[in-house]
Structure 1
Amino acid sequence: MNGGPSGFHNAPVTKTIVIATALFTIPFGIRGNSSKLGLAYQDIFEKLRIWRLISSIFAFSSTPELIFGLCLLYYFRVFERQIGSNKYAVFVTFSVLVPLLFEILALGYLKDYLDKLTPGPYSLIFASFVPFFFDIPISSRFRIITVHLSNKSLIYLAGLQLLFSSGKQSLVPGLCGVLAGCFYRFNTFGIRRCKFPDALASIFSRMTWPSSSSSTQNSSSDGNVERIPSYSSHQRDVNQQEETVPMLPQPSEASLTTLMSMGFDRNSAMQALLLTRDDLNAATNLLLEAQSH
Structure 2
Amino acid sequence: MQGGVSGFQNAPVTRAVVLASGLLSVVFSAQRRARALGLSYQGIVKNFRLWRIFASALAFQSTPELMFGLYLLYYFRVFERQIGSNKYSVFSLFTVSVSSVLEILSLVLLKDTNYVSALASGPYSLIFASFIPFFLDIPVTSRFRIIGVNFSDKSFIYLAGLQLLLSSWKRSLIPGICGLIAGSLYRLNVLGIRRMKMPRVISSFFARIFEPTSGGSSRPSRSLVGNMTSRTTRVVQNQPPSGFAPVVEPSESSIAMLVSMGFDGNAARQALVRARNDINAATNILLEAQSP
Using structure 2 for the length normalisation, give the TM-score. 0.88
Deviations 1:170-202 (A, max 9, x none): 000000000000000010111101011222112
Q: Distance in 1 between the 2:86 and 2:71 partners?
A: 23
In structure 2, what is the equivalent of residue 202 of structure 1? 204
What displacement does 1:145 show?
2.4
CA contact (8 A) 2:90 2:196 kept: yes
Matches within 5 A, 1:1-293: 1-111=1-111, 112=113, 113-208=115-210, 210-212=212-214, 216-217=218-219, 230-236=224-230, 242-247=240-245, 250=248, 253=251, 254-259=253-258, 268-287=267-286, 290=289
SS at 2:9's partner residue? coil
One-letter code aligned to 1:181: G
Query: Which range is displaced more, 274-283 or 79-88?
Result: 274-283
Find the aligned partners of 1:102 and 1:75 in 2 and give their Cα distance.
25
Give 1:10 shift: 1.1
CA shift for structure 1 position 8: 1.1
Contact 1:139-1:255 within 8 A present in 2 as well: no
Structure 2 CA distance for aligned equivalents of residues 227 and 36 of structure 1: 47
CA distance in 2, matches of 1:244, 1:283: 22
1:81-139 Cα distance to aligned partner (Å, 9 max, x none):
11111111100000100000000011111122221000000000000000111111111
Give the deviation of 1:206 after TM superposition.
2.6
**1:52-72 per-position Cα deviation (integer Å, ceiling 9, x unaligned):** 101110100111111111111
Once residues 167 and 185 of structure 1 are traced to their aligned partners in structure 2, the CA distance between those partners, rounded to angstroms, is 27
Aligned mates of 2:160, 2:261 — CA distance in 1:
27
Mark the runs of 5 or more structure 1 residues left unpaired by the alignment. 218-225
Moved more, 141-150 or 11-20: 141-150
| Aligned residues of 1:86 and 1:201 also touching (Cα < 8 A) | yes
> Which residue identity is paired with 1:57?
A
Q: Contact 2:39/2:121 (CA < 8 Å) preserved in 1?
A: yes
Q: One-letter code of the match for 1:98? A: V
Letter in 2 for 1:88: Y
Equivalences, count: 285
Q: CA deviation at 1:165?
A: 0.3
1:255 shift after superposition: 2.9
- 1:232 is displaced (CA, Å) by 1.5
Q: CA–CA distance in 2 between the matches of 1:5 and 1:52? A: 35
The SS at the match of 1:244 is coil
Q: CA 1:265/1:156 → structure 2, altered by over 3 Å: closer, same or farther?
A: same
Cα distance in 1 for residues equivalent to 2:21 and 2:289: 30
C-alpha spacing 1:212/1:291, structure 2 compared with 1 (3 Å): closer
Cα gap change, 1:240 to 1:154, in 2 (>3 Å): farther
CA contact (8 A) 1:103 1:176 kept: yes
Bigger Cα displacement from structure 2, 134-143 vs 120-129:
134-143
Cα separation, partners in 2 of 1:95 and 1:229, compared to 1, 3 Å: farther
RMSD between superposed Cα atoms in Å: 2.6
The SS at the match of 2:150 is strand
Give the deviation of 1:287 after TM superposition: 2.9
Contact residue 81 and residue 290 of structure 2 kept, 8 A: no
Which deviates more from structure 2 when the two are superposed, residues 226-235 or residues 183-192?
Answer: 226-235
